[in-house]
Amino acid sequence: MGDFLLRSNDLIQFTCTPAIVPMLAAPIPLIGTGTTCMIGGQPACLMGDELPPSIAGPLPYTQPPFITPGVGKILKIMLTPQNLTKQTQQGKQMLLKGADFTATFQVSAPAMQPNPPPAVPTPDTQLMKTFKCQFITTNMNVQAS
């Protein structure tokens, strides 16, 4: 037997420590685009649906001791083979609950550490951050075979 298929309103959760990305603090609903496959009345999630549009753009972040916010964006979500079906719908693999995976976050404007005047703030020099991720599903009926 396979793993549970994901559908609209299932969630992706990011673990961003030590960085703090407020928009990623709570699990984020997925939006399924699988119009030919419905799961419990919701469209199935296909490869490409793992990055919800609400978090696709620039996101503010901090990372102690850099407390003045900077900006970055999720560059890539690296799914594992356990997160994808072998068969496809609409020419794309379907998303599965599967194993934990990672995402990379590219900093475009670094967070800063304030310093006492006349010193200038110190920027965060780690411009690529890796976050752990997992899918959360309420589908306990439909599995990939």
* Domain ranges within the chain, ordered by starting residue: 11-113+121-136
pLDDT on residue 86: 84
Q: Please indicate whether residue 108 or residue 87 has the higher confidence score (pLDDT).
A: 108
Cα 47 vs. chain centroid, distance in angstroms? 13
Helix (H, G, I), strand (E, B) or coil at 14: strand
pLDDT tens for each residue of 45-75: 999 999 999 999 999 999 999 999 999 999 9
pTM for the structure as a whole: 0.90
Question: Nearest to residue 110, comparing CAs of 101, 119, 121, 102?
Answer: 121
